[in-house]
Chain A
């Protein structure tokens, strides 16, 4: 392995999954550190290859370094989540909502027609409920957009991330309760609904967990330094 390959290999493992900003900063500092170490080892009489090996070996266990960097720096996903917090909400425009409603009208009409032909009052109420829900979905973004345009008190990214984590957690609990109260008679439906509900509950729980982890990382920046992993080798002191 060539001298630069050895260092590149260490760096790519240590910074795997981190955001670009963190990767660049760590690479610049570690490269500079290794160059200084090589210069010192060369002064002590080592040849170039041995000095390089010694300098990279001095950095220590790459997996420990990776874990330590991940505790401090944001990962790619976390960096994009923080960026999204700072950006204004990206909601569909009123035109998009109107287009969505227009697109769905033929489906509503078919649904109502089928319900009337079946003659069941209950199915008609169900169809009207679905129509109302979809119309609300079309109108809701307009309302949210109007509200979001009002000046809001500025919140810290950590607080916003925590709110999101709680809302995802709430959604997963809501889905779990809603699906557990559903009692289909058909065994096939029980299995398919169970799988679907399990998927949604797991998905929302996973997103909530990722937000909670990001919140902890953002909060850690304000805590005192004691308790940080030292990297000292056991038994050497």
Chain B
């Protein structure tokens, strides 16, 4: 199944609810999808760094209980991109459903 671009959308959606760090973002996606969207956690960081370079996210480091965590949050550009990607995803989702319903 071609899932290109989906992780970026899920990350943006997760961060729309507030700033978070990489591990919690990964756990939130896995938990909400009930483990169906099981991805390699090492792939999350290139995605986060890429989104940050595009100006969709911004990040800051903080030290909590001796652990250094980098928190990511959405920028205004990121919110606009999320809205655009959601719209596109819903359009594709509806189209796929129409095709599947037609075949049954």
| Complex interface: chain B residues within 8 A of A233 (CB) | 38-40
| Complex interface: chain B residues within 8 A of A36 (CB) | 23-24, 67
Chain B residues 50 to 96 lying within 8 A of chain A, measured CB to CB, are 50-51, 53-54, 56, 61, 67-70, 81, 85, 88
Query: B69 near A64 (CB under 8 angstroms)?
Result: no
Query: B40 near A225 (CB under 8 angstroms)?
Result: no
Query: A237 near B37 (CB under 8 angstroms)?
Result: yes
Query: B46 near A68 (CB under 8 angstroms)?
Result: yes
Stretch at the interface among A53-61, A82-90, A97-105, A134-142: A53-61
Contact with A along B11-43 (1 / 0, CB 8 A): 010000000011110110000000011111111
Per the bound structure, the CA–CA distance linking A225 and B36 in Å amounts to: 23
Query: B50 near A72 (CB under 8 angstroms)?
Result: yes
Tally of chain A residues near chain B (CB < 8 A) = 43
A29 near B: Cβ within 8 Å?
yes
A-B pairs with beta carbons under 8 A, tally = 132
Per the bound structure, the CA–CA distance linking A140 and B90 in Å amounts to: 61
Query: B5 near A230 (CB under 8 angstroms)?
Result: yes
Stretch at the interface among A154-162, A172-180, A192-200, A216-224: A216-224
| Complex interface: chain A residues within 8 A of B1 (CB) | 234-235, 237
A128 near B: Cβ within 8 Å?
no
Query: A71 near B40 (CB under 8 angstroms)?
Result: no
A228 near B: Cβ within 8 Å?
yes
Given the known A-B contacts A14-B42, A225-B51, are A232 and B5 also in contact in the complex, defined by CB atoms under 8 Å? Answer: no
Query: B45 near A237 (CB under 8 angstroms)?
Result: no
Report the interface size class on chain B: 35 or more
Closest to A236 in B: B38
Per the bound structure, the CA–CA distance linking A235 and B3 in Å amounts to: 10
Query: B42 near A60 (CB under 8 angstroms)?
Result: yes
Chain A residues 28 to 80 lying within 8 A of chain B, measured CB to CB, are 28-30, 32-33, 35-37, 40, 58-62, 64-65, 68-69, 71-73
Interface residues, chain A, CB within 8 Å of chain B?
10, 14, 25-26, 28-30, 32-33, 35-37, 40, 58-62, 64-65, 68-69, 71-73, 220-237
Interchain residue pairs with CB less than 8 A apart (22): A14-B42, A28-B61, A32-B22, A32-B68, A36-B23, A36-B24, A60-B41, A60-B43, A64-B42, A65-B40, A65-B45, A72-B50, A72-B53, A225-B8, A225-B50, A228-B50, A229-B4, A230-B8, A231-B39, A232-B7, A236-B36, A237-B36
Query: 10 tightest A-B contacts by CB?
Result: A231-B43, A60-B40, A68-B46, A59-B42, A230-B7, A65-B42, A36-B23, A226-B5, A221-B53, A225-B8
